[in-house]
Amino acid sequence: MGGALEPTTTARAGDVVRLPPGSRDVLPQEARELRAISDGLRGVFEAAGFGEVITPTLEYSDVLARGVLGNPSPTYRLIDDRGAWLELRSDMTVPLARVAATRFHGHDEPLRFWYTQTAFRPVPALQGRSREVQQCGVELFGVPGYGGDREVLGLAARSLDATGLPDARIVVGDARLSATVLESAGVDAEAITAAHDALFAGDLVTLEGILLEAGLTEDRVRALGALLRTRGDASVLDAHADAFGTPGRELAETLSSLTTSEKERVIVDIGLVRDLDYYSGLVFEVVHPAIGEPIGGGGRYDGLVGKFGDDRPAVGFALNVDAVHRAQMLGATA
Amino acid sequence: MGGALEPTTTARAGDVVRLPPGSRDVLPQEARELRAISDGLRGVFEAAGFGEVITPTLEYSDVLARGVLGNPSPTYRLIDDRGAWLELRSDMTVPLARVAATRFHGHDEPLRFWYTQTAFRPVPALQGRSREVQQCGVELFGVPGYGGDREVLGLAARSLDATGLPDARIVVGDARLSATVLESAGVDAEAITAAHDALFAGDLVTLEGILLEAGLTEDRVRALGALLRTRGDASVLDAHADAFGTPGRELAETLSSLTTSEKERVIVDIGLVRDLDYYSGLVFEVVHPAIGEPIGGGGRYDGLVGKFGDDRPAVGFALNVDAVHRAQMLGATA
């Protein structure tokens, strides 16, 4: 087959038969490599007792909107034949939380689900981002705190082993950590929210401005800014244990239970803030030195399943299969 | 895992958190069975030298519309951030024809592609049909006539062996056959088109009315009606070889080249008409006695790739993975 399947053109021939920006065709050689990644992850997930779940690509907008706790992300919406708004799923966590709450209502054993599905994100032209993202991940329902966090972090580390990415790291924090730090410094709730947004935007100038306005001294602001930018191994949680409070203690406990090889994957980031508002505890991003954005991520979202009528703790993560593939390619040539 | 993953509810809990009609969640036990089907088919396709291709779920409507030779099927459309119409793909043959024409422009070796993807079909409420259909199939580009037809029909037969459906059959015809029969009986082109539509609708009363109006005697109409309803093994093509003309001779040649076990899968249907207008020769439907509609189908579509700017012969088929699964379940309990 090989030679016969080399494409003659690297992009669409001409502009007449074109694809939407951020979309592409995957040809056999790359498809084989992508499938090796998702097959490897499937092996890790199934060996750990997770079962595959498949949800519809199109759901009612008002159902998916229950999973949006803060600002909704841009999504693709359309009107069906009965005038109802449908939406192309923009992540897999919300649909799987819906499955846990509705199809396993009142179920008291842990639920372990994995998936490999496409999520859809409208992207402005020329930004070079993907409209259609193949996500391969897990959701663990019904295991609170430390036990669930430890299981999912360990699974994330083993997933990176399975995809052959020695340089990938898991940057770990807690969604409550920055607020706890600022609270213990006497910053009020409103300023904490603004500081959180500045941290997410990586805008440290604005962050310092907010803290000065909140009445802190320049020295204190500088110290807090440094604290929130702290990255390192688990020992960084010991240095200022008072300021890190309960989230810091819980994260330290989770990390101490990882195996040595799992620990080697982990970097603690005190100021880590993720882009989805449903995270309630552990948060993490999977990063690779060759790729400019996270290749995966996850965390705990204990408040989300209850939005669909059956409250229970939940934690999960997903890898972006295309980004893992790019990391494999770039890592191999580096 | 087993017991812990039994759902507590067979449908969505209440009507508040609901799914669009024709959509559903697939839970782990069924997902495992569906994956066994698609893995089995992938094994058959890759062993035959086919390479996987993945195309975007969303494409420009005007690009997909090039593949519509007759009446367009209903599709899901939406407007992107730049005001362009996008469409959720409603089959895989048109996108793969686009890939062949644009990414392998001027390529003169055969191209062998397989896919396992979701196609989207708006369905009126309460009809019990699926909105999202997982299709697993192949497209073979650049092998005209007999050689390509024989390869794809053989692959379809082996796919049914791989999915363990001893009772499934491949109902085979030729898109030109009914027109050839009617032409040789002196029916004019306009009446042939109307007769074709009546045949597709399975409306034999209308068919006979059209032929009577076209000036044929009642006896002749009855004989033609019987001929177009003829089903049987390849020998039915010998009985009226004159009326079946070139399409009949080509189909007989294709069928004679199949292996004995492949032949046992095949039923010839002189009047077979498929629902897509791009078929130009061989057509077939995969049927199972326990399932009320075809579980798959395919055929030759030599005119389609040229619509994307690089003319070449093409033939392919796909199985509906959900329908294959239902046939497995019902076949096992029958």
Structural contact between residues B163 and B319, judged by C-beta atoms closer than 8 angstroms? yes
Q: What percent of chain B has pLDDT over 70?
A: 92
Task: Check whether A12 has a pLDDT greater than 50.
Answer: no
Convert B220-254 to b/e letters by CB count within 10 Å (16 or more is b).
ebeebbebbebeeebebbeeeeebbbebbebbbeb
pLDDT average, residue stretch B254-264: 94
Question: CA Rg, chain B, in Å?
Answer: 21
**Residue A64's pLDDT is what?**
92
Which of A56, A76, A82 lies closest to B23 in CB terms? Answer: A56
Does the beta-carbon distance from B78 to A77 stay under 8 Å? Answer: yes
**Residue A333's pLDDT is what?**
55
**Residue B39's pLDDT is what?**
97
**Residue B312's pLDDT is what?**
94
pLDDT (tens digit per residue) in B63-101 = 999 987 666 677 899 988 788 899 999 999 999 999 999
DSSP per residue over B195-228, as a string? HHHHHHTT-HHHHHHHHHHTT--HHHHHHHHHHH
Residue B272 in any domain: the answer is: no
pLDDT average, residue stretch B188-196: 91
B3: three-class secondary structure by DSSP: helix
**Residue A128's pLDDT is what?**
73
pLDDT (tens digit per residue) in A280-305 = 999 999 999 999 899 999 999 999 99
| ipTM score of complex | 0.91
Task: Check whether A1 has a pLDDT greater than 60.
Answer: no
**Residue B12's pLDDT is what?**
47
CA-nearest residue to B58 within chain A is A20
Rounded distance, CA A44 to CA B287, Å?
37
Question: CA Rg, chain A, in Å?
Answer: 21
Residue A203 in any domain: the answer is: no
pLDDT (tens digit per residue) in B313-329 = 999 999 999 999 999 99
Assess A103–B contact: CB distance below 8 Å, yes or no.
yes
Q: What does the angle CA B154 – CA B288 – CA B67 come to, to the nearest 5 degrees?
A: 60
Identify the domain containing residue A65 by its residue range: 26-165+286-333
When mean pLDDT is compared across A256-260, B30-34, B68-72, B264-268, the lowest value belongs to B68-72
Rounded distance, CA B11 to CA B25, Å?
9
pLDDT (tens digit per residue) in A26-44 = 999 999 999 999 999 999 9
Residue A320 in tokens:
């972006």
Which of A26, A55, A124 lies closest to B53 in CB terms? Answer: A26
**Residue B1's pLDDT is what?**
39
Residue B258 in any domain: the answer is: no
Assess B66–A contact: CB distance below 8 Å, yes or no.
yes
Q: Tell whether the torsion through CA atoms of B29, B50, B53 and B85 is positive or negative.
A: negative
Residue A17's DSSP bridge partners are: none
Residues of chain A with Cβ-Cβ distance to B131 below 8 Å are: 56, 58
CATH number at residue B155: 3.30.930.10
Assess A81–B contact: CB distance below 8 Å, yes or no.
yes
pLDDT average, residue stretch A74-92: 89
Assess A35–B contact: CB distance below 8 Å, yes or no.
yes
pLDDT (tens digit per residue) in B31-41 = 999 999 999 99
Q: What percent of chain A has pLDDT over 70?
A: 92
Residue A2 in any domain: the answer is: no
pLDDT average, residue stretch B162-176: 95
Residue B270 in any domain: the answer is: no
* Helix, strand, coil percentages in chain A from 3-state DSSP, rounded to 5: 45, 20, 40
Does the beta-carbon distance from A58 to B132 stay under 8 Å? Answer: yes
Closest CA to A130 of A288, A15, A293: A293
Does the beta-carbon distance from A63 to B18 stay under 8 Å? Answer: yes
CA-nearest residue to B26 within chain A is A54
**Residue A13's pLDDT is what?**
46
pLDDT average, residue stretch A97-125: 91
**Residue A4's pLDDT is what?**
47
**Average pLDDT of chain A, as a whole number:** 90
| pLDDT bracket for residue A108 (50, 70, 90) | confident
- To the nearest whole Å, the CA of B4 is away from the closest chain A CA by 6
**Residue A5's pLDDT is what?**
61
Does the beta-carbon distance from B52 to A31 stay under 8 Å? Answer: yes
Rounded distance, CA A82 to CA A308, Å?
24
Across the A/B interface, how many CB contacts are shorter than 8 Å?
205
Assess B222–A contact: CB distance below 8 Å, yes or no.
no
Beta-carbon neighbour count of residue A46 at 10 Å?
A: 16
Convert A272-303 to b/e letters by CB count within 10 Å (16 or more is b).
bbbebbbbbbbbbbbbbebbeebbbbbbbbbb
**Residue A16's pLDDT is what?**
67
| pLDDT bracket for residue B13 (50, 70, 90) | very low
**Residue A278's pLDDT is what?**
83
Rounded distance, CA B34 to CA B21, Å?
21
Burial class of B17 by CB neighbour count within 10 A (0 to 12, 13 to 18, 19+): buried
Assess B106–A contact: CB distance below 8 Å, yes or no.
yes
Residue A147 in any domain: the answer is: yes
pLDDT (tens digit per residue) in B275-313 = 777 889 999 999 999 998 999 999 999 999 999 999 999
Structural contact between residues A198 and A211, judged by C-beta atoms closer than 8 angstroms? no
**Residue A2's pLDDT is what?**
39
Residue A261 in any domain: the answer is: no
pLDDT (tens digit per residue) in A152-209 = 999 999 999 999 999 999 999 999 999 999 999 999 999 999 998 898 888 889 999 9
Residue A240 in any domain: the answer is: no
**Residue B324's pLDDT is what?**
97
Task: Check whether A138 has a pLDDT greater than 70.
Answer: yes
In chain A, the number of structural domains is 1
